[in-house]
Structure 1
Amino acid sequence: MKNLSHLLITALFFSFLFSTSVKAQDFDRLSNAKIEEQMIVPNYQFEYIPDFTYQEVAAKIKAMETDMPFELNEKIFAFINYFTVRNREYTKMVLQRQNLYFPLFEETLTDHEMPEDIKFLAIIESGLNPKAKSRVGAMGLWQFMPATGRMYSMNLNRDVDDRMDPELATEGAARYLKSLYRMFGDWELALAAYNCGPGNVRKAIKRSGGKKTFWGVYDYLPKETRSYVPQFQAMMYVLRHTEDHNLFLEQPTYPIAFEKIKFNQELDLEQLATVAGVCVEDLEFLNPSIQNRLVPATNLHMAIRVPKEKAELIAANKEQYAEAVKLTSERSDALRASNSTATPIKSVAVASSTTNSSAGQQQKVIYTVKSGDVLGTIATRNGTTVTKLKTWNNLRSNNIRVGQKLVIYKNQANFENTLAQNSGNAGPAPESYTVQPGDTLWLISKKLNGVTVDQLKKLNNLQSDQIKPGQKLKIS
């Protein structure tokens, strides 16, 4: 009888706990409640996610040491909830990639005497994916449009796109943001202008009656820009307080040490990898601006990043390699044909695709573990995360061995299907989504891993990106 009483009490407790969980469809109602009563109480099966209140987050933000201070409001809080509760997988992916690019960002921003926290902007722009491409053609870590990229000394052609070069793009972003700050005298407005253009910010200032703060002109900015700055500020908080939200880096991803070598000739990257004994994937990873594994005649003086451990060998034998790595017109055509794959669209988990771009059409790839590989590096090269690699391959730990075969899916939707099957709770996928306050089509595409903005617009016959809270969207 005593055990039965304990069981009943436990059941009642968990029933009450689950009934008070915050559901997505209740977000609109909760946002109108008194904020001091709002508590995030997530209900997740596989992972402990700590509770937190608005007041707790506000106090932590107030105590943050930053050159870009801000005060918490409901819009920023909603994105903190998004990054720490509703889409933790995205935040984990960012944690995995930050070691690759944050040192470069910090060094460049310091050189330009700019706030170090601007580094978090690249997370919102690209998810720290140097090959990210938006639906309107912006590219790289900092999402430069072609014309703006050229303004900041980035050249682009079908074989080499400097917007995807981490160093060149970061230098360009720093210079552009610095000029926007000089223009508006406010970092929040400079960030807004980076997103929607200085002309739109000037219009917003004029329509607001001359107010010169982001929140003062908020209602007059484009809808996407209204979400852009709060996302940035939410990420500033989240990456400073990952432990508070039980967000931990499962396995660090370390940069590949490299040196630059100029070959002063057209170059076949695959042949260079062969003669130098280098993994061609490493060369691609180090040189993301090279699109088709070749350097054309227009880029003869381009410096190639090679693994540091091979740099001395390659430099010493550069003349001997010259003929072997020489590019012919036939070889150029072959490389372009074999590498003409779809460039990934910016999304929650940016993944390179070698299939057609329609959702549900994914390619299963078998990867053979090489000497020196770790799950973190493999995940980063393939635009995925350690968690997904472990799920796809039923790995209980991060240990892998040379020669081991790993399954990798090149589209996010496969991960969701695999996870559902492994959990034993596979059910029918939801067919619709209810728009919540603060949502944009881009944000919704992030939540619905595997669905792009263009697909959402086609499914719902949308002529523009305008949506409103409460609107039902077809997602399948």
Structure 2
Amino acid sequence: MRCKTQNLYHKFYESFHKSYKACHESLNSWLKLPLVCVALITSQVSAGGFIPDKYATSTLNSLGVGTEFLHSLQSNVLLQSASTDTRWVRFVDQFDSSYEFIPIIRSMIAQSGIPQEFLFLAMAESGFSSRAYSKKRAVGIWQFMPYTAKDLGLVINDYVDERRDPIKSTRAAIKYLQFLYNSTGQWYLAAMAYNCGLGRLKKAIERAQSSELEVLLDEQAKYLPAETRQYIRTILSMSLAFSNAPKMQALDREYLLNRGAFDTLAQVQVKGGTLLASIAAAAGMSLEDIKKYNRHFTYNFLPQSSKEYAIYIPYDKLAYFKQNFDPNALPTSKFVFHKVKQGESLASIAKKYGISVQELKLSNNFSSKQVIFANQKLVIPLLVPQKIAQN
């Protein structure tokens, strides 16, 4: 049994290696930012050298990194341009725009026992965007490839992609990070393995004959890929920079320092086949707003089945939703797929099924000027006869 499990995880982490190579384009944009952030660390510089504060020491130690590594980060910062403030504001804006997810992710990380600094691993991967998508099909906040996601228990099909589910994908990422830690014995090694793959990291350690951070990050020897050498710096730099209370106060963003003290999203179970528009109306929200919290659904309805699905709504809408939503109501529509034939248009397809073009566009998340093409798969909403809906 143990041998079988090891083989499964071997396939598992090698798939992760391919996954994060595929995310190179999306990751690079974030790797250019974080070293600049270290200039904002709440530490002191004296004639005797760089003196880290308690938070900086705690941050480094939580990942198994010694405080001497702070000197390395600081020396890199001194090479940066004068655009520090501009980049810092962009970083904080990105963090702020993800307010609906961050408290829950932070809470899940804390409860799992992994370092809070891994919150910034998600920042490095996707900017906390559940819509993040790479050319090689890595998706979501944690940028999972399809094979790896399914191996971790996430569902991907025509109707739902749980890589975009902030809760379930975070649970999967935590599971994998714990596995990497158990395999390497250090959180900083787990972070680097998350980026380049466990097999690639082990080869680097073997070449370097050391697992020490400073040795593995040697720019001359290049034991690890360039993006991985920068990766741990990315996570540490973001975490350190975000402790800068005076800078936050200057930007009127001091409230972000305490974010995570409370949850902002509620999770409710809703029957399959329910329209997102019905859920939105019951919560007193627009369809676009409810979709913002539920990017894991491909269409504007929950998959048709007797199964219930997790729906996320803001906590301040929960009481209103419970008052107005009937959990026992049956859907008044069902959905079928239509494969577009050569020469068909939205108008001709809508006419064929007795629905409006607007209903067809809404069901398929189409824009006002959407163009369809042959062999494209469309979802068609059909009205359920009233007598059936009441049974």
Give the TM-score, by structure 2 length: 0.63
1:146 maps to 146
1:327 maps to 334
The one-letter code sitting in structure 2 at the alignment partner of 1:282 is: D
| Cα distance per residue 1:48-73 (max 9 Å; x no partner) | x9899994794236752332344224
1:234 maps to 237
Q: Is the contact between residue 79 and residue 234 of structure 1 (CA under 8 Å) also seen in structure 2?
A: no
The one-letter code sitting in structure 1 at the alignment partner of 2:328 is: E
1:278 maps to 285
1:170 maps to 170
Write the distance in 1 (CA, Å) between the matches of 2:53 and 2:133.
32
1:338 maps to 365
Classify 1:188/1:304 alpha carbon distance in 2 versus 1 (closer, same or farther; 3 Å).
same
Q: Is the contact between residue 84 and residue 91 of structure 1 (CA under 8 Å) also seen in structure 2?
A: no
The one-letter code sitting in structure 2 at the alignment partner of 1:239 is: F
Write the distance in 2 (CA, Å) between the matches of 1:116 and 1:334.
42
Q: Aligned-pair distance for 1:194?
A: 0.5
What is the DSSP-based 3-state SS (H/G/I as helix, E as strand, rest coil) of the residue aligned with 1:109? Answer: helix
Write the distance in 2 (CA, Å) between the matches of 1:224 and 1:183.
21
1:461 maps to none
**Which of 271, 283, 305 is the matching residue for 1:264?**
271
Q: Is the contact between residue 293 and residue 312 of structure 2 (CA under 8 Å) also seen in structure 1?
A: yes
Q: Aligned-pair distance for 1:221?
A: 0.7
The one-letter code sitting in structure 1 at the alignment partner of 2:244 is: H
1:397 maps to none
Q: How does 1:22-33 map to 2 (within 5 A)?
A: none
Q: Aligned-pair distance for 1:292?
A: 2.6
2:386 maps to none
Write the distance in 2 (CA, Å) between the matches of 1:51 and 1:278.
40
Alignment of 1:72 with 2:82, yes or no, is no
Classify 1:298/1:124 alpha carbon distance in 2 versus 1 (closer, same or farther; 3 Å).
farther
Q: How does 1:68-467 map to 2 (within 5 A)?
A: 68=63, 69-70=65-66, 71-74=69-72, 78=76, 84-97=84-97, 99-208=99-208, 210-218=209-217, 219-244=222-247, 248-249=251-252, 257-274=264-281, 277-297=284-304, 300-306=307-313, 307-315=317-325, 317-320=326-329, 322-324=330-332, 326-329=333-336, 334-335=361-362, 337-339=364-366
Q: Identify which of structures 1 and 2 has the higher relative contact order when contacts are C-alpha pairs closer than 8 Å and 6+ apart.
A: 2
Q: Is the contact between residue 79 and residue 230 of structure 1 (CA under 8 Å) also seen in structure 2?
A: no
Write the distance in 2 (CA, Å) between the matches of 1:114 and 1:335.
41
Q: Aligned-pair distance for 1:296?
A: 2.1
More helix by share: 2
Q: Aligned-pair distance for 1:77?
A: 5.3
Gaps of 5+ in 1: 1-39, 41-48, 342-353, 357-476
| Cα distance per residue 1:196-254 (max 9 Å; x no partner) | 1111101111221x211233222211121111111111101110115248762459699
Classify 1:338/1:264 alpha carbon distance in 2 versus 1 (closer, same or farther; 3 Å).
closer
Q: Aligned-pair distance for 1:141?
A: 1.5
Write the distance in 2 (CA, Å) between the matches of 1:110 and 1:335.
39
| Cα distance per residue 1:357-380 (max 9 Å; x no partner) | xxxxxxxxxxxxxxxxxxxxxxxx
Query: Which range is displaced more, 134-143 or 250-259?
Result: 250-259
Gaps of 5+ in 2: 1-35, 337-352, 372-391
Write the distance in 2 (CA, Å) between the matches of 1:188 and 1:51.
20
Q: Aligned-pair distance for 1:273?
A: 2.9
Write the distance in 2 (CA, Å) between the matches of 1:163 and 1:336.
21
